[in-house]
Amino acid sequence: MSGPSAQCPSCGAEVAFRWSGAVQTTCGYCDSILVRHGTDLERVGKVSEPPPTTSPIQLGTEGRYEGRRFTVVGRIVYGYERGGWSEWHLVFYDGSSGWLSAAMLEYSVSFLVEDAGPIPYEAQITRGLRLRLFGDTYEVTDTTPARYLGTEGELPWEYHDRGDMTFADLKSAGGRVVTLDQSEDPPLVFAGEYVDFDELSLENLREDAGEVLHHEQVRTLNCPRCGSSVEVRQAGMSVNVVCASCASVLDATSPGAKVLQSFEKRAHLEPLIPLGAKG
């Protein structure tokens, strides 16, 4: 599956597309985020750092879903209060596009549904709400406020300047899943199902995957407010950490660990981490 290629407007490197339908890609040499206009590429930003991952999947991973072979060509990474997850962009050999969602070792494959019918306003979508979609009844099981963290590789649309958004997860009695991406109005509707990792028959996985999966990753950063060293467990998954010394809430995903929230009146606070705990 070889697609067209073009020149990176930033560094001049040849940027080859795995998929001819790609609208956005990243330059493998200078990390520019590039958007395609016909045969030209426009630089719209830069990948600040490789999006964190604890997944064995990578660009170029191949697999099989319902007997159809696919290649992983892109990724969007989101953060939420308990960590992060990746939406891997799959391109099937017939040129169609799908998504493999990998969150905390739980995998699902889904497809964008055009013309899904009317969807209630975001404010009306709350846990327990039932919706009739594609001839089936779905119940909202979760709404998840999330934050766009980054992209890599080829995507079917422009996706580089996002902020906060809310996702809604719905399930049918038969085990089908629907995700509403409410960053768009009307929301993007993805329909699919949970999949067993082994049944995807994935090849060309990351070689260090075993290590990533089986050992807890720990790194330390320095609190930019008080200078104490702060341990980040599950590096790459943790989004927010709390400095045990000054109780600042730090963004572990930003370079230099930006302070998200700090507490001036420490003396009046209950300790966030029990004394004696290794923080």
Size of the site for Zn ion (CB under 5 A): 16
**Stretch near Zn ion under the rule CB under 5 A, chosen from 130-138, 158-166, 174-182, 223-231:** 223-231
**Shortest CB 279 distance to Zn ion, Å:** 11
Q: Under 8 Å CB-to-CB from 56, ≥6 apart: which residues?
A: 202, 205, 206, 209, 210, 212, 213
Residue 156 belongs to what H/E stretch? none
When binding is defined by CB under 5 A, the residue of 6, 23, 30, 112 that contacts Zn ion is 30
Tokens 């980040």 locate to 232
When binding is defined by CB under 5 A, the residue of 212, 226, 249, 260 that contacts Zn ion is 226
**Stretch near Zn ion under the rule CB under 5 A, chosen from 27-35, 62-70, 120-128, 266-274:** 27-35
When binding is defined by CB under 5 A, the residue of 180, 246, 252, 257 that contacts Zn ion is 246
**Shortest CB 152 distance to Zn ion, Å:** 13
Parallel/antiparallel/unpaired status of strands 62-65 and 68-80: antiparallel
Under the binding rule (CB under 5 A), the answer on residue 244 touching Zn ion is no
Under the binding rule (CB under 5 A), the answer on residue 225 touching Zn ion is yes
Q: Find out whether the peptide bond into 271 is cis, omega within 30 degrees of 0.
A: no
Under the binding rule (CB under 5 A), the answer on residue 11 touching Zn ion is yes
How far, in Å, are 73, 86, 120, 128, 179 from residue 193 at the CA level?
Answer: 20, 16, 22, 19, 10
Neighbours of 268 (CB within 10 A): 7
Q: Which residues bind Zn ion (CB under 5 A)?
A: 8, 10-11, 13, 27, 29-30, 32, 223, 225-226, 228, 243, 245-246, 248
